[in-house]
A and B are shown apart, each in its own frame.
Chain A
Amino acid sequence: MTTPQRNVQLFVDTFTRMRAELQRVIVGHEEQIELILIAFFAGGHVLIEGLPGTGKTLMVRSLGQLLNLSFARVQFTIDLMPADITGTRILVDEDGRRVFRFQPGPLFTHVLLADEINRATPKTQSALLEAMAELQVTVAGQSYALPRPFFVLATLNPIEMEGTYPLPEAQLDRFLFKVVLRYPTHGELQRILARTTSESEPHLAPLFDVSVAADEVERLRALVRQVMAAPQIEAYAAALVRATIPSTSKFVPAGEAPLGTDDKIDRYVSFGASPRGGQALLLGAKVRALLDGRVHVTYEDVDAVAVPALSHRLVVNFAAVADGIEPAALVENILARARRWRR
């Protein structure tokens, strides 16, 4: 077996084991777990929207334990300041001299759970988002690199919206996927109760040794980027992204819509997805292709990640809210048109 082929097989094995281990701890949410793992290996961050008690924190903590990576959790509140998460300079004694020294904040970890991110002020949110995009923080004019891999799982509580600061579109755009955790089914709930109230809790066995865990994860992430995508696939992803933008928008050149215009998009969408949406599509499709043992992307791979990659990037207008139109439904509509186009 050649080295690339061995790497592909290693990736498939790692991913499969991670998924199996997580499903031992977390009951249900198989699809959401796979999407979170895809985002993790694609190098992106995930925004989880779910009700309290649906296993968000458990999911993130289990991921850190499984990969033997460092894990931190920050509960975002309205009085949380940027220095509280990025770190600050403190005055310390060094050889009889008092000097400022940088004290890293909770951002300096591999896996971070930003719980209820919409309760923090925009100032704190933007500090987190800089770290997510640039993988560094700047304190007192000095930049500090974050450890790699750096993976943020931010949660949104859809209830109790008073006193919250909804994330602006530019910050939403920085999340690779948005995953919605729903209530467990009756059977799942029964299993959750049996598992969490018994004497022995499931124990997670780390996949990597702590000394090589970060490097192994980074290697697997690099492998994802080596997966090939034919020009047709890239054109397809670009067409999907373009189709989310209303034709009436003044920011797009006229006559450049490969899939044509869509009445629903024009009626319900104010702003469509950015090029980051296209990146999310292709990266997610590449991970999915690797999971299938392939080294090339197909149309089906792109379709499979289109809804979590694009739905949170659509800014819908009041008409959509009034008519009860979900962004995910709009993306599904685009996919239906795209399937006809690609044939």
Chain B
Amino acid sequence: MAAISLSARDIEQRVHAILQRLRIRARLHALGYALGATLALCALLVWWKGREVVTNEPAWSGVLFVSLTVILAVLMSAVVERKLDRQAVVAWVDRTAGLEFRLATFAALQGLPRRSPLFSVLVLQLFRLLPRYEPAALAPWRPVKPTAAVLGGLTALLWVVTQDPQASPGREAELAMVGERKAAADDTGERARASARSARDHSATLASESEGEDATGLEEGEQDVQDGAAAATATRGGADERSAAVKAAAGHARRLPGAPVRSAYGRAQGESQERAGHHSEVSRADPGADASRTKHSQLAASGAMPQSRAESQQKPGAEPSSTLRARPTGGDAAQRNPDLPGRESNRLSGPDSSRPQAGQSAGAGAGADGMGVYGEPGNATALGSKRSGQPVVIQLPVTSVVRGSPQRQGGTPRDSWPQAESASDQGNADAISPLVEKPLLPAEYESLARRLFSRSSQP
């Protein structure tokens, strides 16, 4: 009976064969993935730059394609093969073939000069388990994922080529989107302005129809005007200011007996819409002006800033602040064009000089400028109820301060106050132009103003 000789060499050769097969398979897989990636890159290039990128220089494109594929394949296979060392492969075979750490023990102890007497038993067990770790069974040639990668890349390239990407569609789409957005914005602004114009005309017509005034209606109207003005003073932003203006206008309408409320509401709404249209225009044109306007509207609405200061810091093209918006303005044309007559009076008097309306100045102008800031609604209302078209002089209480010249740009408030006081002492207030007489601030407002000015003078 012939003895069966077992050698560890058989198992060693098997391990070597598995290692070789895994390396070759890794290279093939790397080539497949690289080909797929290169095809995908080509598809991307054709998508962005057009088909002529490939067709203009076919030879160079081919060379570039092959080079890129080879480089990618070499890089990928290098990364994979670094992990395919002998110990890792043996551990993988142990796990995959269910050898229960036999092969790893064999590989670790095989090179030792003095082996255990039981090593032969280990070799025998591994020999019996040889069918479990056949290279073909462990690492079959089924490159499913690399083939899928190649097919995916090829499909992408074919799809891009069939889509005729002469001009970069992404860029076209972007341009188209920008154009549509701009057109939509222009359209919205135009529509808003037109709507505002029609609403204002409608309310003006209704207001002119109801000329006869009633005393009761006048008192109620005055009360509502005050409420509306207070609400406008308390507002802090453009959104709230709209409702305040509507309320003030509603009060203004109640002062006019017979005039339906809807006329005032319509007018207020028209103004708001017009402002909205104008606002969007200004926002696109000058964001800085918008930010400045918002800040000033907050300050003016809260009563923390004198009117002249708030107005003097506004840009010429900017929309009036929220406080100023609460009164009827001199119209868009007058505001947008400083050369138009009546602009100064608009700024000071409030009523619309181009289209004077009964009770209009009292409705909103006093609400914000006359009362909200200085707390003297009676004076402002009485004067504001006069027909506009003449310069309005605000009569002051007994204690008064005449402000000299308008505050210089960049000058601090402290610069202007002594000058104004000296002018008042000398009695030549009229010699110093313009000339708004204003009541002295109450004590609490004065301290508040001083605090604010001192804070603003700090760096």
Contacts and interface: CB of A to CB of B under 8 A. Distances in A.
B is bound to A:
yes
A81 interface: no
Given A230-B108, A230-B109, A231-B108, A296 B102 contact: yes
Nearest to B109: A228
Contacts of B108: 230-232
Nearest to A9: B121
A297 B117 CA distance: 15
A5 B105 CA distance: 17
Nearest to A223: B118
Interface in A217-267: 223, 226-233
A228 B119 contact: yes
Interface of B is mostly: helix
A227 B118 contact: yes
Contacts of A232: 104, 108
Contacts of B125: 294-295
Given A226-B116, A295-B116, A8 B121 contact: yes
B116 A230 contact: no
B118 A8 contact: yes
Contacts of B122: 228, 295-296
B124 interface: yes
A2 interface: yes
For B102, B104, B105, B116, the residue with the greatest tally of chain A CB atoms inside 10 Å of its CB is: B105
How many chain A residues sit at the interface, stated as a range, is 10 to 19
Interface in A188-244: 223, 226-233
A295 B121 contact: yes
Interface in B419-449: none
Contacts of B100: 294, 298
Contacts of B119: 228, 295
A5 B101 contact: no
B120 interface: yes
Contact of A4 (B102, B104, B120): B120
B250 to A, nearest CB: 71
Given A294-B100, A296-B122, A298-B100, A4 B117 contact: yes
Contact of A5 (B102, B109, B121): B121
How many chain B residues sit at the interface, stated as a range, is 10 to 19
A223 B116 CA distance: 10
Interface string A133-164: 00000000000000000000000000000000
A299 interface: yes
Interface string B63-102: 0000000000000000000000000000000000000111
A161 B124 CA distance: 54
A2 B117 CA distance: 11
B105 to A, nearest CB: 4
A298 B109 CA distance: 14
Contacts of A299: 101
Contacts of A297: 101, 105
Contact of A226 (B101, B105, B118): B118
Nearest to B108: A230
Contacts of A294: 100, 102, 125
A299 B117 CA distance: 22
A185 to B, nearest CB: 33
Given A295-B122, A296-B122, A226 B117 contact: yes
Nearest to A3: B117
B105 A230 contact: yes
B25 to A, nearest CB: 23
Contact of B105 (A2, A8, A223, A296): A296
For B100, B104, B108, B121, the residue with the greatest tally of chain A CB atoms inside 10 Å of its CB is: B121
Interface string B223-238: 0000000000000000
A12 to B, nearest CB: 12
A2 B121 contact: yes
Contacts of B124: 2, 5
Contacts of B120: 2, 4-5
A228 B101 contact: no
Given A230-B108, A230-B109, A232-B108, A296 B101 contact: yes
A230 B118 contact: no
A227 B116 contact: yes
A86 B420 CA distance: 119
A305 to B, nearest CB: 16
Contacts of A4: 117-118, 120-121
Contacts of A227: 116, 118
A228 B104 contact: no
Interface in A293-332: 294-299
A297 B118 CA distance: 12
Interface string A1-19: 0101100100000000000
A232 B105 CA distance: 9
B347 to A, nearest CB: 74
B118 A295 contact: yes
A104 B362 CA distance: 127
Contacts of B118: 4, 8, 223, 226-228, 295
Interface in B11-30: none
Contacts of A223: 118
Interface string B109-135: 100000011111110110000000000
Nearest to B115: A228
B415 to A, nearest CB: 69
Nearest to A229: B105
Nearest to B121: A295
A25 to B, nearest CB: 32
Contacts of B121: 2, 4-5, 8, 295
Nearest to B94: A298
Contacts of A8: 118, 121
B354 to A, nearest CB: 81
Contacts of A230: 101, 104-105, 108-109
B123 to A, nearest CB: 10
Nearest to B124: A5
Interface in A148-188: none
A215 B101 CA distance: 32
A230 B105 CA distance: 5
Nearest to A298: B101
Contacts of A229: 105
B104 to A, nearest CB: 6
Contacts of A226: 116-118
A298 B101 CA distance: 6
Contacts of B102: 294, 296
8 contacts: A5-B121, A223-B118, A227-B116, A228-B116, A230-B101, A230-B105, A233-B105, A295-B122
Given A230-B105, A298-B101, 14 more contacts: A8-B121, A226-B116, A226-B118, A227-B118, A228-B109, A228-B119, A230-B104, A230-B109, A233-B101, A294-B100, A294-B102, A296-B105, A297-B101, A299-B101
Shortest 5 CB-CB distances between A and B: which pairs? A295-B118, A296-B105, A230-B108, A298-B101, A230-B105
Interface of A: 2, 4-5, 8, 223, 226-233, 294-299
